[in-house]
Amino acid sequence: MLLDFLSPPVCLACRHLLRAPARGGLPPLCSRCAPELAPLDPAARRLGDVEACFLYEGPLASAVRRLKYDGQLELAGPLGRLLAHAPAWREGWDLVAPVPLHWRRALARGYNQAALLARWAAREAPLGARLRPRLLQRVRATPPQTELDGAARRDNLAGAIVVRSGRSLAGLRVLVVDDVTTTGATLDACLRAVRSAGAARAAGLALLRSAL
């Protein structure tokens, strides 16, 4: 009760105070913003080995953009806790790793939003896995994926993401986390790197899926 008084729950979208914290894996949204939520149909959540939870629209898309581009880091907690309720966690994982940023982009932004989400999600997930925020490395700077179509996205990332030198993943189960997926090209590149390092199982998880 004291924590709620000192840091009362607010709507992710409009920042208005909420009467009560969100429960049961629901995002903290007010009654005006909640109807704009766009969850993915369960049958459409998984494409190959990449799972997403919501469509890239409405209040969650706005919240992710504010986290990613406006430095509103306070949104990482509620968004990461929301991601922790994804069915993918039920498989059980040894390691959780975020999609990496190239060091120049990380330096310019000051943080990796995928790493923030992964940290909160791994903390809240019922079968808590070990978080490895530096497991993957982007060794080549690439143009933003948003500027490319599906085939070009895959070519853009060829050889750009690797498991850091000296890390063996032999026999381990690894979940790679991102904020948004579109074609799945970025997460697929991460999964290829993880598998090449010997992982027994690899899958990707994103909070949102956007359309090209």
The predicted-structure confidence for 190-208, as pLDDT tens digits, reads as follows 999 999 999 999 999 999 9
Adjacent-strand bridge partners of 54 = 39, 208
| Position 63 in a domain | yes
| Position 127 in a domain | yes
| Position 6 in a domain | no
pLDDT of residue 165: 87
Residue 150 — very low, low, confident or very high, per pLDDT cuts 50/70/90?
low
| Position 170 in a domain | yes
CA angle 104, 205, 70 (to 5 degrees): 45
Lowest mean pLDDT among 7-11, 90-94, 103-107: 7-11
Calculate the average pLDDT of the chain.
Answer: 88
pLDDT of residue 174: 97
Which ranges constitute the DSSP H helices of 22-166?
A: 58-70, 76-83, 103-109, 113-124, 150-156
* Longest Cα separation, the chain: 52
How many structural domains are present in the chain? 1
| Position 75 in a domain | yes
Q: Is the pLDDT of residue 76 over 60?
A: yes
Q: Is the pLDDT of residue 117 over 80?
A: yes
Domain of residue 110: give its range.
37-209
Q: How far apart are the first and last CA of the chain?
A: 44
Q: Is the pLDDT of residue 5 over 60?
A: no
Adjacent-strand bridge partners of 204 = 50, 176
The residue that leads in pLDDT, 134 or 7, is 134
Q: Is the pLDDT of residue 149 over 80?
A: no
Contact 182, 212 (CB under 8 A): yes
Q: Is the pLDDT of residue 139 over 70?
A: yes
| Position 183 in a domain | yes
| Position 22 in a domain | no
CATH number at residue 118: 3.40.50
Residue 4 — very low, low, confident or very high, per pLDDT cuts 50/70/90?
very low
Count CA within 13 A, CB hemisphere, residue 75. 23
pLDDT of residue 2: 34
pLDDT of residue 171: 95
The residue that leads in pLDDT, 212 or 46, is 46
| Position 122 in a domain | yes
Average pLDDT over every residue of 167-189 = 94
Q: Is the pLDDT of residue 1 over 60?
A: no
Contact 181, 49 (CB under 8 A): no
Per-residue burial over 138-157, b if 16 or more Cβ lie within 10 Å, else e, is beeebeebeebeeeebbebb
Average pLDDT over every residue of 78-105 = 93
3-state helix, strand, coil in the chain (%, to 5): 40, 20, 40
pLDDT of residue 27: 86
